[in-house]
């Protein structure tokens, strides 16, 4: 505890302890919704309590003036929906129902920001939380954990306005570590998000989108990279529970003006302007790797013409997301950063056709190889692709950034982890500076011409362009042979001596 205030880690540890009520009974990918939603309620309640006390003091206890002031806050909270009210009802036989009613009230009071956020989270579900007796016991323990006096989330106590959002992010990361393969559905490791955000170099006033936003971590990180509040965030997420987490995550980071849509990005995108897709300055995503049921059946007749470079294969949706992202990036200035499995770099057939056209259109700016075991749920290495719609056509290209595609092999430089490998600040900075300077670094990066890529038949596999071969020291065969002869002679002497000892002992 620093200066009498709880640190982010201390707050997170207290909240993480609340998971004990669910471990063993629920999958981490499921009970994360209950823990994170309760943290959200606790934060709103403590913030409301802080504001109410502040206005009560300011207006000398004038209840009407206090009420009007509270209604002008960025959110509203009825006394019946506060955490304290729920805690006072913790012995109720219908506790799950009471929590659901409080969530519904919070939504109704904040329709413009929180409408529908809790529709996928049911605290009265016998399927998820057990029969009434077990369910009430678990929910009572959950309320008891969050009633810990040390878990005081009032800004006057916590201080830093971002600390609650950071605690929320930390907990999502902990759930991802426990959730195995399901983690990839809702979480991008923070160092990967930081790297992609720095590569994109977002600027004030820009519109930023993540069309596969999960819990919103990557989108928030790119927003933070702007260095102020002058930006617009938008995202799409197909999983209802994860969409709810993203909405709460935005609110906790004071980014509640973000537009996060619950929809299928490929078959039913909802980020629209008029009858067309909304366009953005920055588009980033960590879409599901090689998704099988990605919307092939509707893509052929796509009304937005996103797949004019080719229809991705039915069994893998990687290029469906890439195609969508490139189409929603502003013409002549939009930038795209996407995390992909390595197969995207070299698979042939339909994917090879799309990849070739993207290169021929000179949209691809960089290919960056990442270390293995970076992502929860998969040990395979991934890559980042950076597209830039500001690049000139090959024939008109005059500067380095337009004349080459930069390949960076960052796969060998990382910090070992038990479950996951990590990029340190130094590793991230090296990748970013190499990209920004568009520089060649021996055994690390290479600027490839269109001719080189054509010679490789548009195969973008990084080892084709970045030579990481390490020459081994030449072996002196004569010296090795001499050493072997010496060792054999010493062995013969030891064997003779051993035979004499055995003879003396009568063990010949």
Q: Mind listing the pLDDT tens digit for each residue in 58-73?
A: 999 999 999 999 999 9
Mapping DSSP onto H, E and C, the string for 93-154 reads CCHHHHHHHHHHHHHHHCHHHHCCCCCCCCCCCHHHHCCHHHHHHHHHHHHHHHCCCCCCCC
Element (H, E) at 500: helix 477-504
Nearest to 242 by CA among 269, 217, 268, 209: 217
Alpha-carbon gap, residue 369 to 382, rounded angstroms: 6
Answer yes or no: do 228 and 101 share one domain. Answer: no
Nearest to 123 by CA among 213, 244, 214, 217: 244
CA 481 to centroid of chain Cα atoms: 55
Alpha-carbon gap, residue 322 to 336, rounded angstroms: 9
Answer yes or no: do 148 and 220 share one domain. Answer: no
Q: Which stretches in the chain have pLDDT values below 50?
A: 1-2
- Whether the CB-CB separation of 110 and 83 falls below 8 Å is answered with no
Q: What is the DSSP letter of 292?
A: S
Average pLDDT, the chain: 89
Number of domains in the chain: 3
The parent domain of residue 493 ranges over 475-508
Question: What pLDDT is attached to residue 291?
Answer: 92
Which tokens belong to 98?
């009471």
**Which residues, other chains included, contact 259 with Cβ-Cβ below 8 Å and sequence gap of 6+?**
232, 233, 234, 235, 271
Residue 360 counted as domain residue: yes
Nearest to 175 by CA among 41, 288, 15: 15
CA 319 to centroid of chain Cα atoms: 19
List the CATH number of the domain containing 298.
3.40.50.150
Element (H, E) at 408: strand 405-409
Alpha-carbon gap, residue 359 to 133, rounded angstroms: 61
User: 428: how many CB neighbours lie within 10 A of its CB?
Assistant: 17
Answer yes or no: do 427 and 333 share one domain. Answer: yes
User: 253: how many CB neighbours lie within 10 A of its CB?
Assistant: 23
- The string of DSSP codes covering 190-201 is HHHHHHHHHHH-
Question: What pLDDT is attached to residue 174?
Answer: 76
Which tokens belong to 466?
């970045």
**Which residues, other chains included, contact 313 with Cβ-Cβ below 8 Å and sequence gap of 6+?**
296, 349, 350, 351
CA angle 405–406–411, rounded 5-degree value:
135
Answer yes or no: do 403 and 271 share one domain. Answer: yes
Alpha-carbon gap, residue 291 to 329, rounded angstroms: 22
Residue 2 counted as domain residue: no
Answer yes or no: do 237 and 308 share one domain. Answer: yes
Nearest to 422 by CA among 242, 190, 168: 190
Helix (H, G, I), strand (E, B) or coil at 357: helix
Answer yes or no: do 154 and 202 share one domain. Answer: no
Answer yes or no: do 196 and 274 share one domain. Answer: yes
Residue 171 counted as domain residue: no
Question: What pLDDT is attached to residue 186?
Answer: 59
Residue 286 counted as domain residue: yes
Residue 174 counted as domain residue: no
Answer yes or no: do 400 and 291 share one domain. Answer: yes
Element (H, E) at 388: strand 382-388
Residue 87 counted as domain residue: yes
Alpha-carbon gap, residue 427 to 191, rounded angstroms: 10
Answer yes or no: do 363 and 408 share one domain. Answer: yes
Which tokens belong to 147?
């009633």
Residue 341 has phi, psi (to 5 degrees) of -75, 155
Helix (H, G, I), strand (E, B) or coil at 405: strand
Answer yes or no: do 428 and 501 share one domain. Answer: no
Answer yes or no: do 460 and 480 share one domain. Answer: no
**Residues forming beta bridges with residue 406, ordered by sequence position:** 366, 447
Residue 470 counted as domain residue: no
List the CATH number of the domain containing 64.
1.20.1260.30
Which tokens belong to 370?
């990442």
Residue 450 has phi, psi (to 5 degrees) of -60, -40
Question: What pLDDT is attached to residue 179?
Answer: 60
- The string of DSSP codes covering 49-65 is HHHHHHHHHHTTT-HHH
Answer yes or no: do 97 and 213 share one domain. Answer: no
Element (H, E) at 369: strand 364-369
Residue 1 counted as domain residue: no
Alpha-carbon gap, residue 83 to 143, rounded angstroms: 8
Q: Is 492 exposed, middle or buried (0-12, 13-18, 19+ CB in 10 A)?
A: exposed
Q: What is the DSSP letter of 237?
A: E
Which tokens belong to 399?
């500067």
Element (H, E) at 441: none
């Amino acid at each position: 505890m620093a200066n009498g205030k709880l640190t982010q880690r201390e707050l997170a540890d207290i909240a993480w302890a609340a998971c004990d009520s669910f471990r063993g009974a629920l999958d981490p990918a499921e009970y994360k919704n209950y823990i994170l939603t309760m943290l959200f309620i606790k934060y709103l309640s403590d913030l409301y309590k802080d504001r109410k006390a502040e206005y009560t003091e300011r207006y000398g206890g004038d209840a009407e003036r206090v009420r009007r002031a509270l209604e002008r806050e960025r959110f509203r909270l009825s006394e019946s929906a506060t955490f304290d009210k729920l805690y006072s009802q913790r012995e109720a036989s219908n506790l799950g129902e009471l929590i659901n009613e409080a969530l519904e009230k919070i939504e109704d009071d904040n329709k413009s920001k929180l409408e529908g956020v809790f529709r996928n989270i049911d605290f009265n579900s016998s399927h998820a939380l057990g029969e009434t007796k077990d369910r009430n016991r678990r929910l009572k323990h959950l309320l008891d954990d969050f009633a810990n006096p040390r878990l005081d989330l009032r800004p006057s106590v916590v201080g830093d306005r971002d600390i609650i959002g950071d605690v929320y992010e930390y907990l999502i990361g902990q759930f991802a570590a426990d959730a195995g393969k399901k983690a990839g559905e809702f979480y991008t490791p923070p160092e990967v998000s930081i790297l992609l955000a720095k590569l994109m170099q977002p600027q004030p006033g820009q519109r930023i989108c993540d069309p596969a936003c999960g819990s919103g971590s990557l989108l928030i990180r790119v927003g933070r990279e702007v260095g102020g509040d002058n930006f617009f965030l938008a995202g799409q997420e197909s999983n209802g529970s994860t969409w709810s987490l993203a909405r709460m995550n935005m609110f906790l980071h004071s980014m509640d003006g973000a537009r996060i849509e619950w929809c299928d990005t490929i078959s039913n995108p909802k980020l629209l302007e008029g009858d067309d897709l909304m366009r953005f300055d920055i588009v980033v995503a960590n879409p599901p790797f090689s998704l099988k049921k990605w919307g092939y059946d509707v893509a052929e007749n796509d009304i937005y013409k996103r797949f004019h470079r080719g229809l991705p294969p039915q069994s893998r949706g990687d290029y469906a997301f890439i195609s969508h992202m490139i189409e929603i990036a502003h013409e002549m200035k939009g930038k795209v950063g996407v995390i992909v499995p390595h197969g995207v770099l070299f698979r042939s057939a339909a994917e090879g056709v799309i990849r070739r056209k993207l290169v021929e259109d000179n949209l691809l700016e960089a290919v960056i190889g990442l270390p293995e075991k970076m992502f929860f749920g998969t040990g395979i290495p991934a890559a980042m692709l950076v597209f830039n719609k500001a690049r000139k056509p090959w024939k008109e290209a005059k500067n380095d950034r337009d004349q080459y595609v930069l390949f960076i092999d960052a796969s060998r430089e990382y910090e070992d982890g038990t479950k996951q490998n990590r990029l340190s600040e130094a590793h991230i900075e090296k990748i970013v500076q190499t990209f920004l300077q568009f520089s060649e670094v021996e055994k690390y990066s290479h600027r490839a011409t269109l001719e080189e890529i054509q010679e490789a038949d548009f195969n973008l596999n990084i080892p084709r362009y970045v030579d990481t071969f390490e020459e081994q020291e030449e072996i002196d065969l004569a010296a090795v042979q001499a050493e072997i002869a010496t060792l054999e002679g010493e062995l013969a002497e030891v064997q003779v001596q051993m035979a004499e000892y055995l003879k003396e002992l009568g063990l010949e």
